[in-house]
Structure 1
Amino acid sequence: MGIQRTSLTLVQGDITEQAVDAVVNAANSSLLGGGGVDGAIHRRGGPEILAECRSLRASHYGRGLPTGQAVATTAGRLPARWVIHAVGPVHSGSEDRTELLVSCYRESLRLAGELGARTVAFPAISTGVYRWPIADAARIAAATVRAAVAAAPDAFDEIRFVVFDDRAREAYETALAGGDGGD
């Protein structure tokens, strides 16, 4: 039996078009959709995702999903099996919220593993309206995913980072190459 290697890949494109087992949503705590990645996933995935999110709100998360946590739903009409909704932190210049961002990636991968997802696509969590600097977010994402893969090298076939623009792609290229990403 050979050693399984998890591929870390970078794609510039639309996360709603990724044919993977699990797509991670940069969700807000309401789980009811919003702007950016969250809104796109809800729009493209269709009403099935919103229905499951409403059910989760009614049963387990009446006050919303806490920052740094993750929960899974159907992927609806997306070319994936599941959507893993992770609530990222709003960036703060006066408070270090790094561990909450790390938790989004860890919890998403933990949940993906429990679901049996072999391929996972991540957006750049917290870098939109939550204003996390892209280079720092890329560094955190790459380091956290690498640590999770090292701890469970047979858990995944591919972890894909899906970014929207050139600036994010460049930051993730640097982070995945082992650099600090600049900014």
Structure 2
Amino acid sequence: MARASIYDRISQKREAAEALARQQAEQEREAAEAQSRMPIAVPVLPLNAQQNALRIAGLHLQMPEGCGFRSIETTLELAGCEATFAARYRRAPEGLDLPHAVELYVKNLRERHVDMTLVRQGEALLAGHSAIAVDYVFTSGQERRHGRSVCAIISNDEGAPRQWLDVSTQINPDQSRMADWLIEFDAMLAGMTAQ
């Protein structure tokens, strides 16, 4: 029986080591792909209707204990342009689901802005809770406006009534300096924290 030469044995070991390295690299790539497909866990932030505060120009204004929040609307200035920011918090009727609540919200928008056009509607998250984001356009005076609203119905585990929370913004989309505002708005909502 002829024995393989030392060079053949070295070559076979090298080929086996290369095949093993390729197999390990493929397994690592598959594991990385599987990891990237896994949803990132977003913390669900609890609502505390009795704890409210505002931060204005770096000043923190704490509302008195028991002071409930209902709505706020403000005008923000960014790069010399204005954007509105609004948030509303209400009790949500039992049995009202989020898609139907958003339908009513959009109907209300159409009543306020007769020429409103719904641009897009899709799933979103608001403070870790399931939400629906709505983008729409309308005319205010001579100005075009683009609005984005993120709406959620929030339940808590302690048996408190379900709550409706919507956060929205409106801008003039023709102002180039506002091009990144909707991205910043989404990032601002993604960065919400509970105190």
TM > 0.5 fold call? no
Q: Whose strand proportion is higher, 1 or 2?
A: 2
User: As a proportion of its length, which structure holds more helix?
Assistant: 1
Q: Structure 1-normalised TM-score?
A: 0.29
Higher relative contact order (CA 8 A, sep 6+): 1
